[in-house]
Structure formats: structure tokens, C-alpha cells
Amino acid sequence: MKAAVWTAYGTPDVLQLREIDKPEPQSDEILVRIFASTVTMGDCEQRSLDLPLWYMLPMRAFVGIRKPERITILGMDFSGEVEAIGRDVHVFRAGDQVFGSSGIRFGTNAEYLCLPEEPEGGALAIKPINMSYEEAAAVPVGGLEALSFLKQGNVQSGQQILINGAGGTIGIFAIQLAKHFGAEVTAVDSTHKLDTLRSMGADQVVDYTREDFTRSARAYDFILDIVSRGSFSGCMRVLKANGCYLIANPGPAQIARGRWNSLTHKIPGFRSAKKVIFGKVSPRNEDLEFLAKMIEAGEMTSVIDRCYPLEQTAEAHRYVETDQKVGNVVITVKH
């Protein structure tokens, strides 16, 4: 089979289209013939290991010290068709049209993928009937993370929420889910993404290149900070007294300040009802099935910025790193 093989840590040039052995499913696995996958900023960070030292070192120890060895194909999102199943698989059958996230095993920038019915750190479900393979591939990672973050923040009907970095892989779905839960949404991103944010249902949009949302008079019940562009103190300032500030990708300084907030929350005289939490995602198949039902009911859609063929996966990485994409960048796989 053909795959975009991750040969070294570095620039997109380390991704090379190669012919490798087609995998065979174990007794508890399914074999998926992949028709579409994606490239996210997470894939780019993984490829280059351009990560904070505290995260990069254990990741390198896991993947391979000198070069990628345990994981050699990137990509987590996918959609396709079940080609074969192991003898212990009970939910899925050959011929099923599926979509999902491969979780910690990655491997979706390829023609085929083997994974269990319940992937570790991922999810698998029947593809929505009203989506193409490309549209469906753009859903799982962003949709599952958005759903998890909003559940952690206990978003309720009537609340005022703000999504910082709303035009990317996660934010597009966070807007739609927040509206589904009945919240009023303010979406923050750059100028060329604002029209898309409105079309997704955002009630207000903020162009961060022209306006600092942390200096506005508006206050929020929940702030989902996907990109950490706003200052910690600024976000806390525009958070309501009982509000929740969720940082999806915290840096060391934000982690320290968030933990200090949690400590002082318990000290008499320093008590604050404002809550700071860090994003955690533990996706399940049921979560992806929930998203599929929303899609089939017409309550959710994906946004595709560009599509690249499998042989141009490196070019897709280059584009994602420009930070210009709206929604997702999809890899189409031709067999």
C-alpha cells in the first residue's frame, strides 16, 4: 500500500510517499480502506517535535530517540470502508462505511489502517449518510475534542461563552456544539475567518488582529482558549464570578498560574469562584455516534479549507503551518 511515511524529525520534507506492506487485522481489529484523512496542527507539531521541552522529551522517548520508529505514519482522522474484520470483532462488518480517530497509534495518512473497534485515545463509528468521505474525515478529532471541552466546562443553555481560536480544527465544532447546548457564542479569530464563524452560528465575532477581547466590557460564563493568544490575567478579568476558563493547550506559565488559582481557591481570604482547568480528552465511540446523529439531523457540518492527494501530504503540512486554514485540511486517498 502507499503511505506518507514519517522518516525523521524536521520539516515537511521528511514525509515521503512510499510503498509499504499492507497491514493485516489481528483477531480484535478491523481493516479500513481509507478514502480520506486530514492534516492538523497537531500532526505538524508531532512531525517536527516543535513542542515544549517537558512534552517533547517523553514523546521522543516513546516514538524514537534518533528518528520515528514506533510511529512512522502520521494522521489521526479518517473515513473509509471496512474491508476485513478479525474473528473477535462484533460491532462492525465488512462493507461498513466508517469514520473515526485512530488515537495514539496515528497512521491514517495511508491507504489502509488496522485498529480495534474501540481505539485507545480514539473512536470509531458508522459514517453519517449525508456526508462525503472527505467531509466525514474532517470531523472526528476536532469534533471529539470540542465536545469534551464543552462537557468539562459544563456549558449550559443561556450561558455566554467565548471561543478563542474558533476558526480551526476544534473551534468550528465548538461553535456548533455550544449553539446546540443553547449558549450564546462569541468567536475570536483572524479577519479572513470571520464570515465562516458567523455561518457556523457564532452570535458575535471578534477579529483578534484589531481588537483585544480581554479589554472589552463583556463578561463570560465560559472561555475556551484553544490557541492561548489572550493573556491569562486578561481572560480571568472577563470571566464571570462563577465562570470557567479552559485552556486547551497550556504552556508552562499558564499551568503554573492555573494551579496557583486552584490552590488559592481553597485558602480563606483568597477564595475565588472562578475556575481554571486544562483540556483533557478521553473520546469514546458513543461520543462520535452523538456527533454523527447531530450531522444527520442537520445540526452540524464540517468545514474543509483545502484537499490534497496523498502524494502531496508534505504540501498539506506546509499549508497548515501557515496558520491560514479555516476548519480542516483533508487528504484524499485514491485506490
pLDDT at 272 over 80: no
pLDDT at 172 over 90: yes
pLDDT at 265 over 70: no
DSSP 100-129: EE-GGG---SBSEEEEESS-TT-EEEEPPT
Q: Which helix (H) or strand (E) holds 157?
A: none
pLDDT at 261 over 70: no
DSSP state of 22: P
183 within some domain: yes
Percent of the chain residues past pLDDT 90, beyond the cut: 84
Q: Are residues 47 and 175 in the same domain?
A: no
Looking at residue 261, which CATH number applies to its domain? 3.40.50.720
**Residue 305: predicted pLDDT:** 98
**Residue 295: predicted pLDDT:** 98
* Cα separation, 271 vs 279, whole angstroms: 23
Please say which residue of 241, 262, 278 terminates a domain: 278
> pLDDT grade, residue 316 (50/70/90)?
very high
Rg, C-alpha atoms of the chain: 20
**3-state DSSP assignment of residue 332:** strand
**Residue 273: predicted pLDDT:** 75
Q: What pLDDT digit, counting tens, does each position of 183-193 carry?
A: 999 999 999 99
Q: Which helix (H) or strand (E) holds 199?
A: helix 194-199
* Cα separation, 198 vs 208, whole angstroms: 15
283 within some domain: no
* Cα separation, 216 vs 43, whole angstroms: 34
Q: Are residues 146 and 270 in the same domain?
A: yes
Contacts of range 16-22, beta carbons closer than 8 Å, 24 or more positions apart: 17/310, 17/311, 17/313, 20/110, 22/111, 22/112
Looking at residue 126, which CATH number applies to its domain? 3.90.180.10
What's the pTM? Answer: 0.94
* Cα separation, 160 vs 202, whole angstroms: 11
pLDDT at 78 over 80: yes
How many domains does one find in the chain? 2
Average pLDDT over residues 124-145: 98
Q: Are residues 62 and 97 in the same domain?
A: yes
DSSP state of 263: H
**Residue 329: predicted pLDDT:** 98
232 within some domain: yes
292 within some domain: no
Q: Are residues 24 and 129 in the same domain?
A: yes
Q: What pLDDT digit, counting tens, does each position of 20-61 carry?
A: 999 999 999 999 999 999 999 999 999 999 887 878 899 999
Expressed as residue numbers, the domain containing 158 is 142-278
295 within some domain: no
**3-state DSSP assignment of residue 216:** coil
Q: Are residues 146 and 236 in the same domain?
A: yes
pLDDT at 150 over 90: yes
**Residue 249: predicted pLDDT:** 78
Q: Are residues 157 and 183 in the same domain?
A: yes
The grid coordinates listed for 320 are 497548515
* Cα separation, 165 vs 160, whole angstroms: 16
Percent of the chain residues past pLDDT 70, beyond the cut: 93
Q: Are residues 62 and 183 in the same domain?
A: no
Q: Are residues 175 and 271 in the same domain?
A: yes
**Residue 233: predicted pLDDT:** 87
Q: Are residues 128 and 151 in the same domain?
A: no
18 within some domain: yes
- Residue bearing cell 470571520: 194
**3-state DSSP assignment of residue 95:** coil
Q: Are residues 238 and 255 in the same domain?
A: yes
Average pLDDT over residues 223-249: 89
33 within some domain: yes
DSSP state of 73: B
114 within some domain: yes
Q: Are residues 15 and 117 in the same domain?
A: yes
Q: Are residues 161 and 129 in the same domain?
A: no
